Amino acid sequence: MTVLDRVEGREKVTGTARYAFEYPVDGVAYAAAVQADVARGEVTAVDVLSARELPGVLAVLSCVDAPRLEPVPDGELALFQSARVSYRGQFVAAVAAETLETAREAARLVRVEYAPESADVVLRADHPGLYKPEKVNPAFPTDTEQGDPEGAFAASAVRVDATYRTPAEHNNPMEPHTTVARWNDDGSLTLWDSNQGATPVGETIAKVFGLGADQVHVVSPHVGGGFGSKGTPRPNAVLAAMLARAARRPVKFAVPRQQMFATTGYRTPTIQRIRLGADEDGRLNAIVHDVVEQTSTVREFAEQAATPTRVMYQAPNRRTSHRLVRLDVPTPSWMRAPGETPGMFALETAMDELAVAAGVDPVELRIRNEPDREPESGLPFSSRNLVACLREGADRFGWAGRDPAPGVRRTGRLLTGTGVAASTYPAYLRPSRATARAEPDGTYTVRLAAADIGTGARTALTLIAAEALKADAADVRVEIGASDLPGAPVAGGSGGTASWGTAVVRACEALAGRLNGGAVPPGGVEASADTTEEVKGREDYARHAFGAQFAEVAVDVDTGEVRVARMLGVFAAGRIVNAKTARSQFVGGMTMGLGMALMEESSMDERFGDFVNRDLAQYHVPVCADVRDVQADWIEESDPHLNPMGTKGIGEIGIVGAAAAIANAVHHATGVRVRELPITPARLLPRL
């Protein structure tokens, strides 16, 4: 197994790795933004006089006087194009100034007047505005149905019918969404930007400003996390570029943490009703998963929360559905494993409830319902090792002999329990380009516009290239994170390394063919690849990674505090390219799942229409002390139907199922079934 230290490790521990805000750009000015104070209505007046008069202010823009932009599908990028306020916190004005302090003070001095309208901001299962979207993210059918799910459920010997709720959650990468924008003399635009894909960001921003794709240069070699929220350009990129044009100076803008909660995406809250009907042995006869979620009035985002239910378990009668309501809220978006994360919390908690109801061990219950083909599509799995993960995990966790009785293990004032849940995530592959170059000094340079947002992509691609070139990894340099490099897809859907790696392998193969064992000429040799055709030509398989997560919790009976004593995840995700960085991906996902289970919740105040706990003291993410013993391991898979590396993607599956494993452990510890996350003392203590 390969174990390579992160190749940019030294830069990151010495502080020399540059993130977007940190590029030295001559004459750069600072931006600050003004957010709407109403959740819905019209801006009737913007008084920028005192802001403009502040010494050091260079430009002020607002939704009543900003230059026109080209329309793009993502309405969140139509910055200052309308006096309409679609949600509280929407950017309505912005300032550029000589210093950050001046910019922020000037923004505070901008006076905006509104004609407010009553706003509708709370998701309800019986909301009259619920509708059926045409598809769910990214392009899945909205509803599916086979057999007679209602009838089969009603006729089942053992039934679970429960509703699960997950709150709005915010990605909260440590690096805020940031852009430094500079208009160049040739009319092109350079953006030092914090994103998950320089190519798509460049293409989109080019459209916004009516430029050719090659006129926008996006530079993003190091990105301080994204977790989906930097997968598409955000208003910060447009704002910096607009202000830079207005101020005739380069402008930089990092979205303040508090402003991120409205302007950089979040996971929709969900209300999910699950019905499981099984025979007395727990064999499923019916699965129904109905999801209710929100989107905004700005653009539709339909989280695919029920899609994992189409993949997981056999059952002849089944239905999934998604319903949305457009609320006067910020647009929800991708957050680590959108769809699978909330969906599998619901499904895997329901499976635990079924295990209890049927008196079947929860590991065994899942094994008993293992399908031999993808249940809804009927396609063969390219590989599926959920059962192996469950068995290996159970073995290593010490599951055997577990007393299923809830609420009976007490040590002092602590109740302890264990839980299990399954994980799944699709293995995507998207077209990418790459070049590989042999240098006369015996080294190689691989170039593509991939992104390393902390995933270890740069390190994995180095290993992939070295293997394809039969070279030492130390002789391979991988250049990524810029839109001027060969075009590459976003770091998203856990498909980055698979998609980029395929292009890298093909480019390296082409290079090896061109070299044909001969010497490298003084000018070097270069070869390129484009995997568009290869990706189109794939055979039909159901391609998914799977995993099993185990958790042990201790619940304080006096306080309702839940602490996770240990977690183990065992995953089957194809071939693991680099054990070292892969483990961090799995553990990182599981840790975010721990946060989802126990503390993460963005609280909407319906009178104001905004998330009130919008900072890192009030929106709790796990701290070091929350993570005691979180371990991840994997089963090596050899799957020829994926891509030349045999990889499935590892960035998201770690969060999938993690919250259910913890919630199931809380039930085992206490006998209390919490169907609404997070499991805080406020929710748990009154029920203990």
Partner 1 sequence: MRPFAYERATTAEDAVARHAAGDGGGNGRGGTAYLAGGTNLVDLMRLGVAQPARLVDVRRLPLDRIELDTDGGLVIGAAVTNSDLAADRTVREGHPVLAEAVVAGASGQIRNLATVGGNLLQRTRCPYFQDAAKPCNKRNPGSGCPAREGEHHNLAVIGHSAACVATHPSDMAVALAALGASVRIRNAEGERTVSLDDFYRLPGGEPECDTVLEPGELITAVEVPPLGMPSRYRKVRERASFAFALVSVAAALDVDRGAGGGGAAGGEAGGGTIRDVRLALGGVAHRPWRARRAEDVLRGAPATRESFLRAAEAEMEAAEPLRDNGYKVPLARNLIVRTLTELGEGS
Partner 2 sequence: MDSANFSGEAVPVHADITLRVNGRERALGVDTRASLLDVLREDLGLTGSKKGCDHGQCGACTVLLDGRRANSCLALAVAHDGADVVTVEGLAAEGELSPVQEAFIENDAFQCGYCTPGQLCSATAVLDEAARGWPSTVTADVSSDPVLDDAEISERMSGNLCRCGAYPGIVAAVRQAALRHRETAERTDA
What's the rounded Cα separation, in Å, for the pair 75 and 467?
Answer: 43
Q: Which of partner 2, partner 1, none is residue 17 near (CB under 5 to 8 Å by kind)?
A: partner 2
What's the rounded Cα separation, in Å, for the pair 543 and 626?
Answer: 34
Q: How far is CA 13 from CA 10, 16, 288, in A?
A: 5, 8, 49
Compose the 560-589 pattern: x for residues touching partner 1 by CB under 8 A, - for all others: xx-x--------------------------
Min dist. Cβ of residue 249 to partner 2 (A): 15
What's the rounded Cα separation, in Å, for the pair 268 and 604?
Answer: 12
581 close to 650: Cβ distance less than 8 angstroms: no
User: Tokens 């609420």 map to which residue?
Assistant: 407
Q: Which of partner 2, partner 1, none is residue 267 near (CB under 5 to 8 Å by kind)?
A: none
Q: Which residues pair with 556 in a beta bridge?
A: 414
How many of the other CB atoms lie within 10 Å of CB of 406? 17
- State the maximum Cα–Cα separation within the chain, in Å, rounded to a whole number: 77
> Which of 521, 615, 636, 687 is in the footprint of partner 2 by CB under 8 A?
615
Q: Does 316 bind partner 2 (CB under 8 A)?
A: no
Min dist. Cβ of residue 14 to partner 2 (A): 6
Q: Does 620 bind partner 1 (CB under 8 A)?
A: yes
> Which of 37, 42, 54, 157 is in the footprint of partner 2 by CB under 8 A?
54
Options 9-17, 359-367, 608-616, 669-677: segment touching partner 1 (CB under 8 A): 608-616
> Which of 5, 117, 370, 558 is in the footprint of partner 1 by CB under 8 A?
558
Min dist. Cβ of residue 383 to partner 2 (A): 27
526 is an active site residue: no
Q: Does 411 bind partner 2 (CB under 8 A)?
A: no
Q: Which of partner 1, partner 2, none is residue 559 near (CB under 5 to 8 Å by kind)?
A: partner 1
Q: Does 19 bind partner 2 (CB under 8 A)?
A: yes
Q: Which of partner 1, partner 2, none is residue 686 near (CB under 5 to 8 Å by kind)?
A: partner 1
**Could you say which residues in the range 394-433 bind partner 1, by CB under 8 A?**
413
Q: Does 455 bind partner 2 (CB under 8 A)?
A: yes
What's the rounded Cα separation, in Å, for the pair 489 and 230?
Answer: 13
Which tokens hold the place of 585? 């991906």
Q: How many helices (H) and strands (E) would you count in the chain?
A: 16, 29
Which tokens hold the place of 59? 């430009």
**Could you say which residues in the range 257-296 bind partner 2, by CB under 8 A?**
257
Q: Which long-range contacts (CB under 8 A, 24 or more apart) does 75-78 make?
A: 75/298, 75/299, 75/331, 76/234, 76/235, 76/263, 76/298, 76/299, 76/331, 77/204, 77/208, 77/233, 77/235, 77/238
Q: Does 15 bind partner 2 (CB under 8 A)?
A: yes
Q: Does 367 bind partner 1 (CB under 8 A)?
A: no
Q: Does 26 bind partner 2 (CB under 8 A)?
A: no
**Could you say which residues in the range 197-226 bind partner 2, by CB under 8 A?**
222-225
Min dist. Cβ of residue 293 to partner 1 (A): 22
> Which of 262, 599, 635, 645 is in the footprint of partner 1 by CB under 8 A?
599
Name the H helices within 2-138: 9-14, 49-53, 100-109
> Which of 605, 631, 671, 673 is in the footprint of partner 1 by CB under 8 A?
605
306 close to 103: Cβ distance less than 8 angstroms: no
Q: Which of partner 1, partner 2, none is residue 605 near (CB under 5 to 8 Å by kind)?
A: partner 1
CA 176 to chain centre: 15
How do beta strands 444-447 and 433-438 pair?
A: antiparallel
> Which of 1, 16, 398, 442 is in the footprint of partner 2 by CB under 8 A?
16
What's the rounded Cα separation, in Å, for the pair 573 and 386?
Answer: 10
User: Which residue is catalytic, options 175, 340, 652, 676?
Assistant: 652
Q: Does 33 bind partner 1 (CB under 8 A)?
A: no
Q: Which of partner 1, partner 2, none is residue 56 near (CB under 5 to 8 Å by kind)?
A: partner 2
Q: Does 195 bind partner 2 (CB under 8 A)?
A: no
Which tokens hold the place of 54? 């502040």
Q: Does 145 bind partner 1 (CB under 8 A)?
A: no
Options 157-165, 314-322, 497-505, 596-604: segment touching partner 1 (CB under 8 A): 596-604
**Could you say which residues in the range 627-666 bind partner 2, by CB under 8 A?**
627-628, 630-631
Options 68-76, 99-107, 454-462, 523-531: segment touching partner 1 (CB under 8 A): 99-107
Q: Does 108 bind partner 1 (CB under 8 A)?
A: yes
Min dist. Cβ of residue 495 to partner 2 (A): 18
Q: Does 101 bind partner 1 (CB under 8 A)?
A: yes
Min dist. Cβ of residue 625 to partner 2 (A): 5
Residue 105: name the closest of 17, 34, 16 by CA.
34
CA 182 to chain centre: 29
> Which of 274, 365, 438, 592 is in the footprint of partner 2 by CB under 8 A?
592
Element (H, E) at 677: none
Q: With respect to partner 1, which residue has the nearer C-beta, 364 or 676?
A: 676
What's the rounded Cα separation, in Å, for the pair 649 and 546?
Answer: 11
Min dist. Cβ of residue 411 to partner 1 (A): 14
**Residue 265: left if φ>0, alpha if ψ -120 to 50, beta else—which one?**
left
Helix (H, G, I), strand (E, B) or coil at 554: strand
Phi, psi angle pair for 642, to nearest 5°: -100, -70
Element (H, E) at 526: strand 525-530
Compose the 287-326 pattern: x for residues touching partner 1 by CB under 8 A, - for all others: ----------------------------------------
What's the rounded Cα separation, in Å, for the pair 107 and 124?
Answer: 36
What's the rounded Cα separation, in Å, for the pair 482 and 488?
Answer: 10
Q: Which of partner 1, partner 2, none is residue 175 near (CB under 5 to 8 Å by kind)?
A: partner 2
Min dist. Cβ of residue 618 to partner 1 (A): 6
Cβ density class 99-126: b for 16+ within 10 Å, e for less = eeebbbbbbebbebebebeebbbebeee
Cα dihedral 312/314/318/320 (nearest 10): 10
What's the rounded Cα separation, in Å, for the pair 76 and 564?
Answer: 38
CA 618 to chain centre: 21
Compose the 95-114 pattern: x for residues touching partner 2 by CB under 8 A, - for all others: ----xxxx--x---x-----
**Could you say which residues in the range 469-488 bind partner 1, by CB under 8 A?**
none
Q: Does 506 bind partner 2 (CB under 8 A)?
A: no
Query: Which residues participate in catalysis according to the annotation?
Result: 652
Binding site for partner 2 (CB under 8 A): 5-6, 8-19, 21-22, 24, 50, 53-56, 99-102, 105, 109, 171-176, 222-225, 227, 254, 256-257, 453-456, 580-581, 583-585, 587-592, 615-617, 621-628, 630-631
Where does this chain bind partner 1 (CB under 8 A)?
37, 101, 104-105, 108, 258, 413, 557-561, 563, 598-599, 603, 605, 607-608, 612-613, 615, 617-618, 620, 622-626, 680-682, 685-686
